Amino acid sequence: MKRLAAVIMSAAMLCACGSDGRRGEKAAPRDWRIVSQYDMSEYERGGCFVSDGDDMLEFLDLSSALKTPVCDDPTCTHTKDEGCTAFGKTNHPFIYGEKLYYFKSTDFVKNSDETYSAGCELWQSDLNGKSEKMVCEFPKYQFEPYNRLLLRGSCIYMTMSEAPYDRDFNALAATVRLVRCDLEKGSSEDAAELVSGYSVGASIGGVWNGKLILTATKPEVNKPFMERFEEYKEKNSLTEKEAWKTFAENEKYVTAVYEFDEQSKKLTDIKLPAPALITESAYYYSDGETLKYIDGEGREKSLGKTDTNDSIRQLGGYVSYSSGGVTYLLDESSGEETKLNGSYDILFADSESIIYRMTEDPKFIEIDGETVVDGNYIPKTEYIKKSMKGLRE
């Protein structure tokens, strides 16, 4: 097996695409970037991290679309039971200073006020997954894989939830804060409180006009989840089964958008719409009907697409989004939009080729008369590289 560090180094040298997705340009470091389960890109190193649902972390080489486990042992069968170093590193993996960083969740602990809370830890290892050590501890803060992390310079910013439970493990009111961690010092600090209450949430959109952009949401009614559910069921004269099917889509939430100044540490409420995606050159959002964006000059433009908020993704110098069962690619430098010949889960695009992921359909089982996804079955995933020309409509 080729050593992972060598794979990453050769991928960075062989991948002739720059961070803006153009061929023939050396990949330049980004001023900032988002890390999440939907974006584990390491474009400057010619690849990205992937995990196919089995908690094993692999590095995908963009020049070949081949993946390598984060493990250098040539005799390893890459199973969790064997102690393979590729496991346990899929929660926000990113490379900084020739080290691999990732989060681990901790067990629940009992607090002095008789409540219970779980925390997390930031860990570091060599690029081959060995020599692990804890960098920073967050005893009462939860950081889930679906959350977003912003890496800028030597610091990471996260929206972390302090979400305690009572002795019966019922969720109590939570507080979400913006937390800053210095990777060089291994220290952290609470930067700002974003929202508190029941069923609250917050996320980092990116950097716009030099400031961090954050979104916070909370239900209009600040009551425990089951109280809100029971009120909804009774108000609409629904059975429990009927209420579960419609409650989430009908519950109303309040959304606030903030900017955070890293120098003054000031959090300010702003009038911009909640971002669907922020890149270094554009601020994308939905007005409820169509996808729009604001460019670096402050000009608003419409892409005229619907149902795109959950599918929009940055891919080097391109942005992908889906509408009506079709995926589109927007070249941010020219503004040219390309319509593909179907719907694709794209991981990377440049002017010549596209790498996309194909995952087989999940298996379904019946439980108590209900058809549900079999959580024990891991669908197979394939990574495919094709020419941009061959995928155009």
Q: Please check the confidence at residue 25 and state whether its pLDDT lies above 80.
A: no
pTM of the model: 0.88
- Work out the mean pLDDT of the chain and round it to a whole number: 88
The predicted-structure confidence for 83-117, as pLDDT tens digits, reads as follows 899 999 999 999 999 999 999 999 888 888 889 99
What is the spatial distance between Cα 43 and Cα 244, in angstroms, rounded to a whole number? 42
Q: Please check the confidence at residue 18 and state whether its pLDDT lies above 70.
A: no
Q: Please check the confidence at residue 9 and state whether its pLDDT lies above 90.
A: no
The reported pLDDT for the residue numbered 15 is 46
- Torsion-angle region of 235 (φ positive above 0: left; ψ -120 to 50: alpha; else: beta): alpha
The predicted-structure confidence for 307-352, as pLDDT tens digits, reads as follows 665 678 898 889 999 888 899 999 998 889 999 999 999 999 988 8
Per-residue burial over 97-126, b = 16 or more CB atoms within 10 Å of its CB, e = otherwise: eebbbbbeebeeeeeeeeebbbbbbbbbbb
| Mean pLDDT, range 342-369, rounded to an integer | 87
pLDDT: is 255 or 24 the higher one?
Answer: 255
Least confident of 27-41, 263-277, 344-358: 27-41
How many CB atoms lie under 10 A from the CB of residue 5?
14
